[in-house]
Amino acid sequence: RVRTFRTRTAFDNLKSSMVNLPVPKDKLVQSDSTPTPNQEKEFYSHTFDKYVHQTDSKSSTKIKKKIAQKKKNNSKGQIICGIEFFSDRNGEMANKLLIATRAGGCFSLNLLLQSWEIHNNWDQFVFSFDDAKIMDLDPSTGSCIGVHPSGERVLVGTTVGWIVIASLSKNGDTQKFAFSCPSYRPAQSISWIDCVNFLVFYACGAVIWWQLDSAARLSAPKVLHIMTLGTSGIPLCHAFDSARNNMFIGDSRGNIAFFNLNRALASGDSQDTARNPDKILSRVHDKEHVTGITILVKSGVVLSVG
């Protein structure tokens, strides 16, 4: 009873201290082809009147319902494509929350001050490393984010395979760059290993290890390893043993793939050649998701949850 009472009291205290902090609205750019509310109203009225003259009253009622339903379905709300806690000081406890939307918005919430900071849209004026020009990026393809350990930049993954590097710093840096690995899409999640190395998990069953040339300069990342699981699952989590250079990756079908990254690629293979797992532990969690993997440093024992 005492334990239940304390838990309930703690929850009530937490509930009473909750605050509502709505995400700021996206800064949308309305094109000339976008109909205004009056134009949209006239379109639906004209469409309905046109069909009323061509059908009987019973059919016109059905058409009116369909038009109303179509109008309802066309209403666009704010869709979040990524959310992550981070710290603006490397190595310290997370004190901010970053949110990216599928309208290109990028906002960070200061958890201490309970105030929002609006960053530049992640999808606008993006320079492509692949063809060396400003690209036309569709923000509705945003699928995931990964905040740099320093809190000064963010990676935004997309369903079409593009990864965007955007600055979060307050020094006026507005540069944004995009890169991709052909035929690998969509980006499922992003995880930083350290300040220059990060992993991108793809729903096609692959994980790519990318490396930046410098932690302080935005430049084209290079591929270090392409790891394909060879299972029917989607990669969800990982654990990297830096002492032994071993990588463990769990997927959505209960499997854990093991890669020994010390193993040299076959003769003639390039750095971006996909490699298969050295070993697969099949159905470790039956057919359930493997949601987390960790390695005990001293013993080297691998623990997984699912």
Kindly report which listed range (64-78, 105-119, 125-139, 252-266) carries the lowest average pLDDT score. 64-78
pLDDT at 55 over 70: no
pLDDT at 60 over 90: no
pLDDT at 39 over 60: no
Write down the pLDDT at residue 47: 39
Mean pLDDT of 115-141: 93
CB 163 within 8 A of CB 155: yes
Q: What is the amino acid identity at position 201?
A: F
Write down the pLDDT at residue 233: 96
pTM (predicted TM-score): 0.78
| pLDDT one-digit tens code per residue, 277-296 | 999 999 999 999 999 999 99
| pLDDT one-digit tens code per residue, 144-190 | 999 999 999 999 999 999 999 999 987 777 889 999 998 999 999 99
Mean pLDDT of 217-233: 88
